[in-house]
Amino acid sequence: MENKSHSDGDLKYVPLDPDLVWTSYDMGCSAALICVGFELLSLNKDQPHKSLFIFKRSNGIDDDANLYWADKLKVNARSYFDTIKMLKNRLYS
């Protein structure tokens, strides 16, 4: 699957190789990962009513995603809210 990301006015190819990227369809988990410092590379909005969040694979991303799902990941509430708003703006603009 190919994905193009808008970066500095240029489109770039983001390979979906699991050794290079971590992906999720969940906005809440994605927002939490951004809040703790993981890099969102791109959003794939090709499917209606479903968007794929593509992160740079980094040490600890799987662990932090599992902490999110276990309701044990700690993030700042204001940062989480602002990140949700940012993601919605990117999705719907």
Across 65-79, average pLDDT: 98
Structural domains of the chain, count: 1
For 57, the domain range is: 4-92
Q: Which residue has the higher pLDDT, 84 or 19?
A: 84
Instruction: Please say if the pLDDT value at position 83 is more than 90.
Output: yes
pTM here is 0.81
Identify the pLDDT of residue 6: 42
Task: Give 7-60 pLDDT, tens digit per residue.
Answer: 444 556 667 888 889 999 999 999 999 999 999 999 988 888 899 999 999 999
Burial 11-23 (b: 16+ CB within 10 A, else e): eeebeeeeeebbb
